[in-house]
Chain A
Amino acid sequence: MAQMPALIPKEVEIQRLKKIWLIVIAMGSTAASVEVDNFVDGSLHQTSIRDSAFTPAHWWLYSHFVALPLGWGSAAIYDRKVPVLRGPNNSMNTGLKMTILGYLATMFTIGVNEMWHFWFVEEIFAVPNHWMFNMGVVVAFMGALAYVVRVYARLVELGAETPGENPYVAEMYKMALEGKLYSRSIP
């Protein structure tokens, strides 16, 4: 981190990081909304067992599973303007890659899920067609966390944000600024 040279003026980088931050907050709200719908959908399935792809809980869940990879994709497009966020070999940031792939997996699983329920009219949480919903979301959350921490740590490094007052958090920022907190594979 700290050894990464600045390739664009500091003020430009802060503004661009904050524009990325806008997308991050929007995507965070969307992900929180998906978690709420997990409860709504689960509640509905306990009442009506298997319904159709087009009940309100599914509109909510599925539309967000389409919006999330597209939204993070827009973050990836804009992310190219911030050199410090580039991934290995000048590719896309590793956290962003994981996030987009994770949410794409959930998007793909919508189709798998509907095909499964064409034959098996049940709604048991643990059946295999539901696995990838959860695995995709977990991968996406891990990637998003890595990316968000990276963006925030860079804002701290540029002096645009003040590290937390909690001594444990402050120690984490200190290590981050010394380049000791993260794996080199997630630059």
Chain B
Amino acid sequence: MTLPKGFGSGGGGGSSSADVERMIGRRVENMTGMITISYWAALLATFGGTAAGYFYYPWAYPTASGHFAFIVLAIIEAIGYIFCVKVMEEGSNKNSNGIVGGSIAATVAFVIFVTMFVGR
């Protein structure tokens, strides 16, 4: 197969597996760590957003509404997180069920903690 400029053996048109690896860069099945960090960043940002609502604008956004929004958004983000990891790892030998399970369990604990003890 003819490869883009800069790849291959210089005019021969042949492609080696090293060239293919170089075109791919970081493989998606190795992105679980980055996906997990992004998920937690999104979840904490969501908490920050709803907390700013019920701490600074309680007249507009009572704590119960903030908690409800936080729960629903946490569910949406968790589903997206699970999809991301499972789709990226399918077809490979990678298996991050432990990380995903731990992350989701920690999310559940965090959401329950926030809804029970954080607010005004």
Which chain A residues have a beta carbon within 8 Å of chain B's beta carbons? 6, 8-9, 11-12, 15-16, 18-19, 21-22, 25-26, 28-29, 32-33, 36-37, 40, 43-44, 48, 51, 55-57, 59-60, 160
Sample (7) of A-B pairs whose CB atoms are under 8 Å apart: A6-B1, A9-B1, A25-B87, A26-B38, A51-B60, A56-B52, A57-B60
How far, in whole Å, are A9 and B4 apart by their CA atoms in the complex? 11
Q: Is the CB of B27 within 8 A of A15?
A: yes
> Given known contacts A18-B28, A40-B69, A56-B57, is B79 in contact with A9 (CB within 8 Å)?
no
Q: Closest CB of chain B to A43's CB: distance in Å?
A: 8
Q: Is the CB of B35 within 8 A of A56?
A: no
Q: Is the CB of B53 within 8 A of A9?
A: no
- A-B contacts, CB under 8 A, total: 75
Which chain B residues have a beta carbon within 8 Å of chain A's beta carbons? 1, 3-4, 15, 20, 23-24, 27-28, 31, 35, 38, 49-50, 52-53, 57, 59-61, 65-66, 69, 72-73, 76-77, 79-80, 83-84, 87-88, 91
Can you name the residue of chain A whose Cβ is closest to the Cβ of B35?
A22
Residues of A within 8 A of B27 (CB): 15
Question: When A and B form their complex, which 3 residue pairs have the shortest distance between CB atoms, in order from nearest?
Answer: A56-B53, A29-B80, A18-B28
Q: Is the CB of B72 within 8 A of A8?
A: no
Q: Is the CB of A9 within 8 A of B15?
A: yes
How far, in whole Å, are A26 and B45 apart by their CA atoms in the complex? 14
Q: A33-B76, A51-B60, A59-B53 are in contact. List 20 more A-B contacts (CB 8 A).
A: A9-B1, A9-B15, A9-B20, A11-B20, A11-B24, A12-B20, A12-B24, A15-B24, A19-B28, A21-B88, A22-B84, A25-B87, A26-B84, A43-B65, A48-B59, A55-B57, A55-B60, A56-B57, A57-B60, A160-B91
> In the complex, which of the residues B28, B61, B65 contacts A15, with contact meaning CB atoms closer than 8 Å?
B28
Q: Is the CB of B80 within 8 A of A12?
A: no
Residues of A within 8 A of B24 (CB): 11-12, 15-16
